[in-house]
Structure 1
Amino acid sequence: MNLANKITLARIFLVPIIMFFLLVQVKFPHIRVEQFSITYNQIIAALIFIIAASTDSLDGYIARKRKLVTNLGKLLDPLADKLLVSAVLVSLVEMGKLSAWITIVIISREFAITGLRQIALLEGIVMAASKWGKWKTAIQITAIIALLINNFPFAFINFRFDLIASWAAALITIYSGIDYFIKNKHVLNFSEGS
């Protein structure tokens, strides 16, 4: 197994660790400053999430630079991304920090695009990620980090950046999904009898 794939696997293995710090009631104290409060376990989960999310670019860069692109890597990389984002989104819903509908929109889009990619693979077509898909990922990660750290530092000025980022993530997720289907509608061969 090459270095890029090991980094991708490490991202997958970090998912349950993040969930542990978010969902298991560890007796860490809170940091309280005026109207802002955060637990140490939230800070640890946020730091691990940031490290895990940053490995997405790293493993792709290493695979391309060292010519280590493999079929295993092509399978694991998007799977790792989806596991990481989906697990944290579900955890945030459980914690009461995120509306369930936003999580459902984001996860549903991922299932739909994965299905479209599977159909394309059966036809021998490899579908590249779009610029909107990359923006979607960046905004989702930004929203997740803002939610994990309780809207720091914007909480001090009563500006709901976390809420705005969550809505932006939902909207761009919907738009990028529609855009992806429109640009790749040729993959869906609706012939008679199907």
Structure 2
Amino acid sequence: MAADGGATNPAGPRPEAVPAPVLNIANVLTVSRLALVPVFVIALFWEGGHDPLWRWLATAVFVLASVTDRVDGDLARKRGLVTDFGKLADPIADKALTGAALISLSLLGDLGWWATGIILGRELGITALRFWVIRHGVIPASRGGKVKTLLQAVAIGLYLIPVGGWLDLVRFAVLLAAVLATVYTGADYVARALRMRAVARSGAGAA
């Protein structure tokens, strides 16, 4: 019997968890997504940006890069491959891909700058807010944030596809939904950040 009355552990003390190596499949996928950004941009602007073949190729690259975003996160969580590098590189890769796609489509005249400005303004603002409250804690991603990311990816994919006609209405509807989700989740994140900061400051004052 142990001194505190509890049974001893015959197996001995549990070994400390071994940190995940930086070089793992999840991080490789994250870096590959970042590397695909210039490939996507080159394919999109090749032949003037409106050649159907190259638009389809650019769409394929964008879809491939977007899929790695979902896969690397799932792998990191399920296999215990979460690293500090991954936490930093993953959002950078996401914003680089989304930003490159939005700006490129606006430069080509296919997407209004108003949508690009709202989405990128929100992403940059939330990134700055994260650094502002990081010493008080990390605000986890919400379900709305995941829906926002999905809507943005679908909207961009639809605008990349070199098909017009009936699809114009569909792509605009998805874009509008993505913009609304972007604004809503941004406001929600600001509210949660302010609450976290207020709680932290009140706790420090009480101490």
TM superposition score category, shorter chain reference: 0.7 to 0.9
Alignment partner for residue 170 of structure 2, among 149, 152, 161? 161
Query: Which of residues 46, 53, 57 is equivalent to 2:70?
Result: 57
* TM alignment of 1:127-142, pairs within 5 A: 127-142=139-154
Distance in 1 between residues matched to 2:180 and 2:48, nearest whole Å: 34
> Alpha carbons of 1:67 and 1:158: their partners in 2 closer, same or farther (altered >3 Å)?
closer
Report the counterpart of residue 131 of structure 2 in structure 1. Answer: 118
User: Are 1:82 and 2:95 counterparts?
Assistant: yes
Task: Name the CA distance, whole Å, in 2 between partners of 1:27 and 1:121.
Answer: 40
Indicate yes or no: 2:80 matched with 1:71. no
Distance 1:27 1:116 in 2: 35
Aligned-CA RMSD value: 2.1
Q: Does 1:146 pair with 2:158?
A: yes
Residues in 1 aligned to 2:31 and 2:125: alpha-carbon distance in whole angstroms: 24
Higher strand share: 1
- Determine which of 32, 39, 52 is the counterpart of 1:17: 39
Instruction: Give, in angstroms, the shift of residue 110 of structure 1.
Output: 0.5
Q: Which structure 2 residue ranges, 5 or more long, are not aligned?
A: 1-22, 202-207
Hey, which bits of structure 1, 4+ residues long, moved more than 2 A?
24-28, 155-159, 186-189
- Give the aligned partner of residue 184 of structure 1: 193
Instruction: Name which of structure 1's ranges 137-146 and 18-27 shifts more when overlaid on structure 2.
Output: 18-27
1:172, distance to aligned residue in structure 2 (A):
1.2
1:130-152 Cα deviation digits (max 9, x unpaired) = 111111101101100110003x4
TM-score normalized by the length of structure 2: 0.80
Q: TM-score, normalised by structure 1?
A: 0.85
Q: Retained in 1: the 8 A contact 2:30–2:90?
A: yes
Deviation, structure 1 residue 156: 5.0
Give yes or no for the alignment of 1:97 onto 2:110: yes
- Determine which structure has greater relative contact order: mean sequence separation of CA pairs < 8 Å that are 6+ residues apart, divided by chain length: 1
Contact 1:119 1:188 in 2 (8 A): no
> Aligned pairs, how many?
178
Q: Are residues 1:170 and 2:148 paired?
A: no
Counterpart in the other structure of 2:6: none
Give the partner amino acid of 2:139: M
Cα distance in 1 for partners of 2:38, 2:64 equals: 14
Give deviations 1:81-109, integer Å, cap 9, x for gaps. 11000000000001111000110100011
* Structure 1, gaps ≥5 residues long: 31-38
